[in-house]
Amino acid sequence: MPESPPWISSVLCEATSGFLRSTSCIEVHLFGSVMRADSGKLGDVDILVVYEEGSLAFAHVFCNHLRSLTTHPPLDVIALSQKEEIETSFIATVGAKRIWPLL
C-alpha cells in the first residue's frame, strides 16, 4: 500500500494537535484514492475517525473541525464508533491506514 502524500500528514498534524494530544479515544485513518497508486488524481482526501463508545460528542467536535479546514483537495470525513467499525469491517474493506495514534 502506498504511503500518503507528505502534505496530508502535515495538514492533519496541524489540525489535530490541540484535539488529540491528550486523548486516546480517537483513531484517525486515511482511505480511498489517497492510499492508492492513482493518488495523483485526488478529488478529495477520505478520512475515517473511529471513536470509543461514550466519546460521540468529542468525535463530533473533532470531525467538524476537520471539515472546517480549507484544503485542496478537500477533506471528506466520516466517523464510526468502534462497535460500528467492527460490525462493518470498514477498515479492512477499504484498506484504510491508521495515521493517529502513530504506530
Does any domain span residue 58?
Answer: yes
Cis amide leading into 73 (omega within 30): yes
Does any domain span residue 31?
Answer: yes
pTM over 0.75: yes
Rounded to an integer, what distance in angstroms lies between the CA atom of residue 27 and that of residue 100?
A: 5
The total number of structural domains in the chain stands at 1
Does any domain span residue 56?
Answer: yes
Does any domain span residue 13?
Answer: yes
Does any domain span residue 1?
Answer: no
Does any domain span residue 79?
Answer: yes
CB neighbours (10 Å) of residue 75?
Answer: 19
Domain of 86 in residue numbering reads as 6-100
What CATH number is associated with residue 60? Answer: 3.30.460.10
State which H helix or E strand residue 81 sits in: strand 75-81
pLDDT digits (tens, 9 = 90+) for 24-81: 788 999 998 888 766 566 678 899 999 999 999 989 988 998 888 888 788 899 999 9
**Which class for 76: exposed (0-12), middle (13-18), buried (19 or more C-beta within 10 A)?**
middle
